[in-house]
């Protein structure tokens, strides 16, 4: 007896799981991305393989690879999911309220500062009925945008390799040297500072962490001791406790100053790094909303940095 075909809704879900596995190369990572168990993800892949009567994944290698048939399905599956999401978007944005549902990805370091303002603007200016927010890192936002589970992202990577996005600059900022409040050592010699205290920085899994590591290599600096964390609040807390020093931008420092952490903030004593914050949205889907969000974010962050960090923070804004 031929295998019983899955229903249309189950087929779409199975295809979504398959694409996530194909693009992450791991069943566990795909399951976490979709908010399901690894067992459920495996069952969905097995369902597709039974349905099509062929093996889609080569499980003998890590990360898993697509078979020839899996590659064929992946190309078609991506088109199917894009078409489904385009239809969903059009339906969500139709009717008396052009943007009935808005899903926002936002950098964790600025989420507390911007969330109330953005939610109010979405509801009052653009008549959005339902707002969903996800605070995270730029890597999280890339996943949300690629899988079309976010309509807009306020993030630190413009993702120039992704087509079909409109980009609205918010601000560009320099990195600053951040020392414990009671630090009394050298301030104008980075090598001497890093020999005296460990470097507390973002983890290698984050774009900020990778940027700092690359910059240190260019300066031919190899800190003998390093502490890594994946959230700015964790980094600043370590520095405030005297565990080390770090490099952060003004927006990454906002929460630390709000929490009244005892920190000394100085310009970098060597050629510095910069990062940008950008509002990203799929082209021509949200009308004037992305540009409005970018302007509001720029004004609010600039005012906040000036108020709580002072002249050093303001001078770091480009």
Domains identified in the chain, total number: 3
Tell me how far apart the alpha carbons of residues 67 and 140 are, in angstroms, rounded to a whole number. 28
Which pLDDT score is estimated for 88? 65
Q: pLDDT, tens digit, for every residue of 209-225?
A: 888 888 888 888 888 88
Using a cut of 0.75, tell me whether the model's pTM lies above it.
Answer: no
CATH number at residue 20: 1.10.10.10
Establish if 318 belongs to a structural domain: no
Establish if 165 belongs to a structural domain: yes
Q: Which residue has the higher pLDDT, 307 or 63?
A: 307
Q: Examine the fold and report which residue of 91, 107, 131 is the final residue of a domain before the chain moves on.
A: 91
pLDDT beyond 70 at 96: no
Same domain flag for 186 and 248: yes
* Mean pLDDT computed over 77-106: 72
Tell me how far apart the alpha carbons of residues 210 and 38 are, in angstroms, rounded to a whole number. 29
Establish if 2 belongs to a structural domain: no
Residue 245 burial by CB count (10 A; 0-12/13-18/19+): exposed, middle or buried? Answer: buried
Same domain flag for 167 and 181: no
pLDDT beyond 80 at 151: yes
Establish if 314 belongs to a structural domain: no
* Mean pLDDT computed over 188-198: 91
Same domain flag for 248 and 189: yes
CATH number at residue 203: 3.40.190.10
Q: pLDDT, tens digit, for every residue of 22-65?
A: 888 888 888 887 888 888 888 888 888 888 888 888 888 778 88
Same domain flag for 164 and 301: yes
pLDDT beyond 50 at 6: no
Establish if 247 belongs to a structural domain: yes
Same domain flag for 16 and 81: yes
Q: Give backbone dihedrals phi and psi of 291, rounded to 5 degrees, phi first.
A: -65, -40
% of the chain beyond a pLDDT of 70 = 92
Q: Give backbone dihedrals phi and psi of 31, rounded to 5 degrees, phi first.
A: -65, -45
Q: Work out the mean pLDDT of the chain and round it to a whole number.
A: 86
Domain with 102 in it: 96-171+276-308
Same domain flag for 158 and 280: yes
Same domain flag for 268 and 282: no
pLDDT beyond 70 at 4: no
Establish if 3 belongs to a structural domain: no
Same domain flag for 157 and 296: yes
Q: Examine the fold and report which residue of 91, 109, 139 is the final residue of a domain before the chain moves on.
A: 91
Cβ–Cβ under 8 Å, residues 238 and 229 = yes
Same domain flag for 141 and 80: no
Which pLDDT score is estimated for 76? 87
Closest CA to 164 of 145, 144, 140, 137: 145
Establish if 236 belongs to a structural domain: yes
Same domain flag for 161 and 282: yes
DSSP-derived secondary structure for 118-130: HHHHHHHTS--SE
Establish if 1 belongs to a structural domain: no
Between β-strands 199-202 and 165-174, what pairing exists: parallel, antiparallel or unpaired?
unpaired
Same domain flag for 86 and 100: no
Same domain flag for 135 and 50: no
Which pLDDT score is estimated for 137? 80
Q: Examine the fold and report which residue of 91, 114, 149 is the final residue of a domain before the chain moves on.
A: 91
Tell me how far apart the alpha carbons of residues 191 and 174 are, in angstroms, rounded to a whole number. 19
């Amino acid at each position: 007896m031929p295998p019983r075909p899955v229903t249309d809704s189950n087929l779409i879900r199975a295809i979504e799981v398959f694409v996530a596995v194909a693009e992450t190369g791991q069943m566990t990572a795909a399951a976490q991305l979709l908010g399901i168990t690894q067992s459920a993800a495996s069952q969905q892949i097995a369902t597709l393989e039974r349905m099509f009567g062929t093996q889609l994944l080569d499980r003998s290698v890590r990360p898993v690879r697509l078979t020839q048939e899996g590659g064929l399905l992946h190309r078609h599956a991506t088109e199917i999911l894009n078409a489904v999401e385009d239809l969903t978007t059009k339906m969500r944005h139709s009717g008396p309220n052009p943007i009935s549902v808005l899903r926002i990805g936002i950098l964790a370091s600025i989420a507390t500062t911007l969330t109330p303002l953005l939610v109010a603007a979405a509801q009052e200016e653009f008549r959005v009925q339902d707002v969903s927010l996800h605070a995270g890192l730029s890597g999280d936002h890339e996943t949300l945008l690629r899988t079309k589970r976010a309509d807009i992202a306020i993030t630190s990577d413009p993702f120039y390799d992704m087509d079909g996005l409109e980009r609205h600059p918010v601000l560009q900022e320099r990195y600053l040297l951040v020392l414990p409040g009671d630090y009394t050592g050298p301030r104008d010699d980075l090598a001497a500072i890093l020999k005296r205290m460990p470097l507390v920085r973002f983890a290698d899994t984050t774009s900020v962490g990778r940027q700092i590591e690359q910059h240190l290599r260019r300066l031919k600096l190899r800190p003998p001791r390093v502490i890594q964390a994946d959230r700015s609040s964790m980094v600043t807390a370590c520095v405030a406790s005297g565990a080390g020093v770090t490099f952060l931008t003004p927006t990454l420092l906002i929460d630390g100053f709000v929490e009244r952490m005892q920190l000394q903030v100085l310009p970098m004593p060597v050629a510095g790094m910069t990062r940008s914050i950008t509002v990203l949205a799929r082209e021509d889907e949200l009308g004037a909303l992305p540009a409005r969000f970018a302007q509001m974010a720029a004004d609010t962050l600039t005012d906040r940095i000036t108020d709580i960090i002072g002249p050093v923070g303001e001078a770091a804004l480009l």
